[in-house]
Structure 1
């Protein structure tokens, strides 16, 4: 049977003109039993559309791992390392993951207590909540009425030592249904978004770059971000913005000498823009929570300097300044009309281009609501590729 594709069902809040390229539902094949030719077709579809949905599939952890690995055959360990979070219980990721014993690259995530699951006698899961991570929180009264927030906009990546996974697979096993929620931005804009309970929200890094004004495109194409060592430990004492898009600058981050042992050579410096391996498009791919510094190259010879930011280049080390600049560039792309909030069904498999999108956990569950998903991503065999000299000349 031939592979068939259809556009993803967009919510009424979405601007269809901004989703022409984003997301496809795939029919006619089973993602766990793809032939080599089908796999190549799926790879092309993913890199062109950034998220693929397979409905109503039975998928073992072994099949999920094999599918994920097929995008980067020499990758092996889970994206944060097979000790899950790369270091210690101080990491903000520590409570979110339980490893499937026989396939340690696949994690069990969700909410509530799951018994006798794939070799785990008992797994207590906790859906991440903005109440533990944001500087301000939704009032209990509003939360009871179904008001919620984006938890943390991110890329699945260790951001230290290991290279960012090329793809992530998410498979819904137990998906509790409930009333829809209102995701509030609470940033003074009045923005809010109606979302399904427990949605995963996605935004396109390609769109994030495309909608920037000229001077910010020029800055993005010339810039790299430097991440903190052990960034999830470093940021753990700090609190996030109400949109989930980065950290408030209150000086709460751990000092570098408080962190687990780290090596200068393992610190990650990545381009702000990552080049799509199939179509050559540029995706704005920054995990704002973990960034420590911004490095800007000067404008190339002959470039128009009028209105340009940092035309002679810069090395920005003031954390507040770095975060404010990144927020200015990234916030427009999480506007309600540009967010795809996936409405999960049991046995949904979503495969997404982790080097082309940002995503966020959303919503809140009661402690007794059981939600179970399998997640897999693999630390890549290479770092992402940034803009070419031709890209820089074009956009700078």
Structure 2
């Protein structure tokens, strides 16, 4: 029988009593879906699944994104997060692959740089290092609920511009190609999302949030930085220490996440992600007029 066990007082839970290789029946899936709606992060231990099984389970939550150009797995429904070359060796620290992995150490929401940002992500641990390489999640619903009224007033009705090229340039100014910039130009996203009367509201920010519409650039950055410092306080954070064959599902519109460092030049880390597409944009006009 499936069991849901909280991992943090505010969010996140572990799901046990389930074999995802064969897939849950409808009643069991409904239990998982309800837990996901309230806990935002679900951990499934000991799930030795392959790519197709991961895709099949992910599709129970909605349509999947196709991986964008410039990312490992481009054109498929998989994102490969790895420091391994095709021959199994570890890639050099200066490689584009490693630099992109380093960018994932910033707090972010997957695909917030797209007109319709992702609803959820599912990450499967295929190879993990002996230490480090954890993933941290911060609860943006709890953070919004505890925001000082001054900051709630400051973000009410505000829109941030999310820019993939801008965020990646913080790692290396040449990391994003012109082809990628054309594929994912800057978009507009609401800074506060409403999840309904039962679940409440959440902040929507992260590393791709470059500026705030209608504000001086410096003032907008200061607001984003203050909000990020508030919502990533330890009391809002769950740190997931990976075990082999863990599968973690999270709500990109309710939590931010980041990878933590490990000895990437010496130890392998190979993870496979599927990304569940969002149901719609966060604002009526996500595109920025040319």
Same fold (TM over 0.5): yes
Aligned to 1:283: 202
For the Cα contact (< 8 Å) 1:274–1:282, is it kept in 2?
A: yes
Structure 1: segments with no counterpart, 5+ residues? 9-18, 86-93, 117-121, 134-149, 179-196, 241-251, 295-314, 387-396
Which residue is equivalent to 2:72? 98
Match of 2:151 among 194, 216, 226: 216
CA contact (8 A) 2:10 2:236 kept: no
* Match 2:108 to one of 139, 151, 154: 154
How far has the Cα of 1:270 moved from its partner?
Answer: 2.0
Cα contact 1:69–1:378 (8 A) shared by 2: yes
**2:125 is aligned with 1:172:** yes
**Is 1:379 the counterpart of 2:290 in the alignment?**
no
Verify the 8 A CA contact 2:166 2:210 in the aligned structure 1: no
Higher RCO, Cα 8 Å, sep 6+ = 2
TM-score normalised over the length of structure 1: 0.62
Q: Structure 1 CA distance, aligned partners of 2:168 and 2:161?
A: 18
Q: How does 1:226-375 map to 2 (within 5 A)?
A: 226-227=161-162, 231-238=163-170, 260-261=181-182, 268-276=187-195, 279-294=198-213, 315-316=214-215, 318-375=216-273
Name the TM-score, length of structure 2 as normaliser: 0.82
In the other structure, the counterpart of 1:191 is none
Aligned to 2:287: none
* 1:108 aligns with one of 46, 59, 80: 80
Structure 1 residue 51: Cα displacement: 0.5
Q: How many residues align?
A: 278
Deviation of 1:49 (Å): 0.3
Q: 1:287 Cα shift?
A: 2.4
Post-superposition CA distance 1:58-86 (Å, at most 9, x none): 212112112222212xx3433xxx3x34x
CA RMSD of aligned residues (A): 3.4
Q: 5+ unaligned residues in a row in structure 2: which ranges?
A: 285-290
Q: Which residue of 2 aligns with 1:200?
A: 135
Larger radius of gyration: 1
Provide closer, same or farther for how the CA distance between residues 50 and 63 of structure 1 changes in structure 2, counting only shifts above 3 A: same
Rounded Cα–Cα distance in structure 1 between residues aligned with 2:179 and 2:271 = 34
